[in-house]
Structure 1
Amino acid sequence: MMRLTIAAAAALALAGCASFSPDGGAGQVSELTRERTGQGVGFQRTASDVDSAAARVGELLQQPLTADAAVEIAFLNNRGLQASFSELGIAEAERVRAGRLANPRLSLGHLAGGGITEVDRSVVFDLAGLLTMPIANEVAQRQLEQAQYQAAFEAVGIAAEARKAFFAAVAAQELARYAEQVKLAADASSELARRMLQAGNLSRLQQMREQSFYADATADLARARHQVVAERERLIRALGLSGESLGFTLPERLPDPPSSALEPKDAEQTAVSKRLDVLMAKRDAEATAKSLGLTKTTRFINVLDVGYADKRQTGEARQTGYEIELELPLFDFGSTRTARAEAMYMQAVHRTAEVATNARSEVRESYSAYRTAYDLARHYRDELVPLRKRISDENMLRYNGMLTGVFELLADARDQVNSVTGAVESLRDFWIADTDLQSALTGRSPNLAGFGAPSKSAAGEPRAH
């Protein structure tokens, strides 16, 4: 009896302390996000918050966009992210509800007849809910933590998408400029070939080759220009922009790769201990285990209500006492609920193991993609592009010395532009791989689709000269 009294007193004290947090749980979400993206995220609850966010977005868009600015704008302006924060309010309301005693139920009965009036009154409390309140509150607290991890999970995904969209948009813009240079070279060579054919100084076959290259260059430029629009629109969607905000400018070129490649230590262990999807799976298993404990506690007592009863009858003294409502386990002894909880727990355990195994694999794959992209970007920058430049300079000297023809010079110029195109693509792939690696280490699955297929310039396709 003493233990029952102590448990009830503790539960009542707990019920008195249950209240809403000042930030609705958003502070923890912001901290989790900051650890993984370098930037926090705020919950816009009022019209003033929305106006302040819009003002900050406008300020960021006054300057050429950067990757970090793109992430900040996505956090401020993505309404889908703000909508996901509403789940925090739901989870916190459930936590507060679990820490408060259920409202008592008032019963009132009135019977009259034969000159006699009978009045029954009672107040009933949920005693089982009171006794299991500490466990229920802990389960609700874990569910709130799960909602916080989920919100941070969404934020990290939005940050990664904003970064990758930014790098792709800048690269598309660069590639379109180089496609225009190729088109100009093709125009010049095609017109020269036409005139030389008319003068009888070029064969029909050579002229058609130059014309074919011109046709290909025209088609490539059209595709490049569309790609600029497509990648820019993808970035716009990632940032949640519309209206007057669409006139933002992008930098002229992608940033250079770092001087040395990242060498993460204990990468697999970091993923298992820091990745949000792994942490969410672990918390889910823990919450299910706690729920299982609660199920076993109430296995044979599904409903236990106790209350004060008062009965009055005309001409009779008032009668007082108590009443207990107890659901008798005659047909269901709670075994079905316990078996269900145990099955759900094992399901959560297996899913946690699967997520952890996948996280380790994705880190290894992400690092391979990152290192390959880094080596290729450095190779283009330090080897291929300088080599093509030296070849071009040498051909120019030979052309000035009348040792080579104009078509050879134009063909070399096209090859040089193609090398620069490959350099831009490799640099874009590096920054995207870098984003995926950071996500795989501490955030979420990067949804890898393998290292990108080689571009035309890198695939060694035959070109018309």
Structure 2
Amino acid sequence: MRRFSTPLRRIALASLCATAAGCASFAPDGGYAEVRQLAQQRTGDTIPATAPGAGSADRQLRTLLARPLSAEDAVTIALLNNRGLQAGYAELGIAEADLVQAGRLANPVLSFGRMKSHEGIEIERKLMLPVIGLLTMPVATRLERRRYEQAQLRAAGAVLRTADATRRAWYGAVAARQSALYMEQVKNAAEASAELARRMALAGNWSKLQHAREQAFYADSVAQLARARQARTVETEKLTRLLGLSGPDAFTLPERLPDLPPAPRDAAGVETQAMNNRLDLLMAQKELAGLASSLGLTRTTRFVNLLDLSYLRNTGETGERATGYEIELQIPLFDWGGARVAKAEAMYMQAVHRAAGLAVDARSQVRENYAGYRTAYDLARHYRDEVVPLKKRIADEQLLRYNGMLISVFELLADAREQVVSVNAAIEAQRDYWIADAALQAALTGSGDAAPATPRAAGAAPGAAPAQH
């Protein structure tokens, strides 16, 4: 049996230790810095530099909650405090652990045997090393690194989806609050009108029909106010859940939505921007690269996927020592690995077609969302620049006529009721624009609910039909 010298054994062990020492290590922040960079490159929001759960994050939360929340503040709070998002970071930790594990050799196996016979005691020692793992380590490490990068992209996508959902919820909550405040004013005006009508009817200066119409308007305004308050509660609670807070009392919202921008986004280059920035397309590319590496590894180990090298050191019955080595090799007698290769090839082609279909869908989605965005912008601007100013001009003219005693107070109130529909529709159009803007951003980054926002028809408000006198 061939003997290994002590220096040779030491050199071999030192080489193995050096190989194991060169493996990947855990990032101090769990990979959050890369996730933050990926997300911040694709959104206008400032992604918190502090990982969720840190002590400085709590201080930042208290600072943000001390003032009325803007959309950006709400997104920051959600990224710091949303429990579902924090749970999603665990997947990134799992992928990082797999990457570190792939860069480490399997532990050697040491076996010890002691046999006693009438001639004496025979001792067998065996140190076995997984050679096939050492040979395939570079390929396996590259494969796990791509999977880790995919996990980073998924985590960045979760960040963008949370930001998108929070932004939409903020717009919905502020719009609902604005509508509730307006409907409260309408209800107060309707109550005053109904009380005046009651007194006029008692004095004999008002017919029962006219009195009943004023009372009906007041009753409708009460019902509409109740619906508006319920909608405010629903939208506020939706935002509360995304912020990860215990209740809506922990934050305050502004009383109205932000103003429209001076001009809409330019349509030029939106498809190219989506192709370059969408995280789902980047994840598909990483998946293709990973499956290609996996296919190469499967083909490499098609015939031999078990190769172990053992170092032997035995002591015989007479005390004589013997050293040597043993190689354990799997013989491809029944399974030649064809099924594993065919499966890997099918999975690769499946990913190819999936990525191609995703690119087609992404282009169509961006075009559809931009069309919805432009429609929502044009409608909101139309209500802001045309409809609401015209209604206000009519109200001003009616007020002049009332001051000149040309019309009665009830004609003035009837005209004011017609403005309710226009104002509510203007609030809804402004809300729909900001939601469409968020949907377009989601379509450009491949995250969140990128379904195009369809402008909704203005709901009937109390007093939509002018009172007839």
TM-score under structure 1 length normalisation: 0.91
Match for residue 22 of structure 1 among 28, 36, 53: 28
CA deviation after TM superposition for structure 1 residue 148, in Å: 0.4
Q: Cα–Cα, structure 1 residues 340 and 138, in superposed 2: closer, same or farther, change >3 Å? A: same
Match in the other structure for 1:106: 110
Asked if 1:224 is matched to 2:222, the reply is no
Q: Cα–Cα, structure 1 residues 133 and 186, in superposed 2: closer, same or farther, change >3 Å? A: same
Match for residue 418 of structure 1 among 416, 421, 431: 421
Contact 1:74/1:238 (8 A) holds in 2: yes
Match in the other structure for 1:279: 282
Matches within 5 A, 1:42-441: 42=49, 44=51, 49-242=53-246, 246-315=249-318, 317-441=320-444
Contact 2:99/2:145 (8 A) holds in 1: yes
Which digits, 9 at most, give the CA deviation of each residue in 1:354-382, with x for residues without a partner? 22222112211211111111111111111
Find the aligned partners of 1:264 and 1:449 in 2 and give their Cα distance: 15
Q: Cα–Cα, structure 1 residues 89 and 301, in superposed 2: closer, same or farther, change >3 Å? A: same
Find the aligned partners of 2:169 and 2:448 in 1 and give their Cα distance: 17
In structure 1, stretches of 5+ residues that fail to align are: 1-8
Aligned length: 454
Contact 2:96/2:148 (8 A) holds in 1: yes
Q: Structure 1 vs Structure 2: percent identity of aligned residues?
A: 54
Match in the other structure for 1:5: none
Q: Cα–Cα, structure 1 residues 449 and 40, in superposed 2: closer, same or farther, change >3 Å? A: closer
CA deviation after TM superposition for structure 1 residue 453, in Å: 2.3
In structure 2, stretches of 5+ residues that fail to align are: 1-13
Give the aligned residue type for 1:328: I
Contact 1:33/1:39 (8 A) holds in 2: no
Find the aligned partners of 2:349 and 2:463 in 1 and give their Cα distance: 53
Q: Cα–Cα, structure 1 residues 136 and 20, in superposed 2: closer, same or farther, change >3 Å? A: same
SS of alignment partner, residue 256 of structure 2: coil
Contact 2:123/2:316 (8 A) holds in 1: yes
CA deviation after TM superposition for structure 1 residue 190, in Å: 2.4
Find the aligned partners of 2:359 and 2:458 in 1 and give their Cα distance: 34
SS of alignment partner, residue 407 of structure 2: coil
Deviation larger for 194-203 or 214-223: 194-203
Asked if 1:455 is matched to 2:458, the reply is yes
Give the aligned residue type for 1:250: L
Asked if 1:40 is matched to 2:44, the reply is no
Find the aligned partners of 2:17 and 2:273 in 1 and give their Cα distance: 41
SS of alignment partner, residue 353 of structure 1: helix
CA deviation after TM superposition for structure 1 residue 264, in Å: 4.0
Give the aligned residue type for 2:423: V
Contact 1:185/1:414 (8 A) holds in 2: no
CA deviation after TM superposition for structure 1 residue 168, in Å: 1.1
Which digits, 9 at most, give the CA deviation of each residue in 1:272-313, with x for residues without a partner? 221111211221121111111110010001211112112221
Find the aligned partners of 1:414 and 1:108 in 2 and give their Cα distance: 95
Q: Cα–Cα, structure 1 residues 238 and 278, in superposed 2: closer, same or farther, change >3 Å? A: same
SS of alignment partner, residue 68 of structure 2: coil
CA deviation after TM superposition for structure 1 residue 319, in Å: 2.1
CA deviation after TM superposition for structure 1 residue 125, in Å: 1.2
CA RMSD of aligned residues (A): 2.4
Find the aligned partners of 2:27 and 2:344 in 1 and give their Cα distance: 30
CA deviation after TM superposition for structure 1 residue 390, in Å: 0.5
Find the aligned partners of 2:221 and 2:139 in 1 and give their Cα distance: 70
Match in the other structure for 2:7: none
Find the aligned partners of 1:341 and 1:311 in 2 and give their Cα distance: 44
CA deviation after TM superposition for structure 1 residue 458, in Å: 9.3
Q: Cα–Cα, structure 1 residues 269 and 460, in superposed 2: closer, same or farther, change >3 Å? A: farther
Q: Cα–Cα, structure 1 residues 295 and 464, in superposed 2: closer, same or farther, change >3 Å? A: farther
Find the aligned partners of 2:230 and 2:410 in 1 and give their Cα distance: 30
CA deviation after TM superposition for structure 1 residue 12, in Å: 7.8
Contact 2:30/2:93 (8 A) holds in 1: yes
CA deviation after TM superposition for structure 1 residue 113, in Å: 2.4
Deviation larger for 407-416 or 441-450: 441-450
Q: Cα–Cα, structure 1 residues 309 and 264, in superposed 2: closer, same or farther, change >3 Å? A: farther
Q: Cα–Cα, structure 1 residues 415 and 10, in superposed 2: closer, same or farther, change >3 Å? A: farther
Which digits, 9 at most, give the CA deviation of each residue in 1:404-426, with x for residues without a partner? 23222112112223322221111
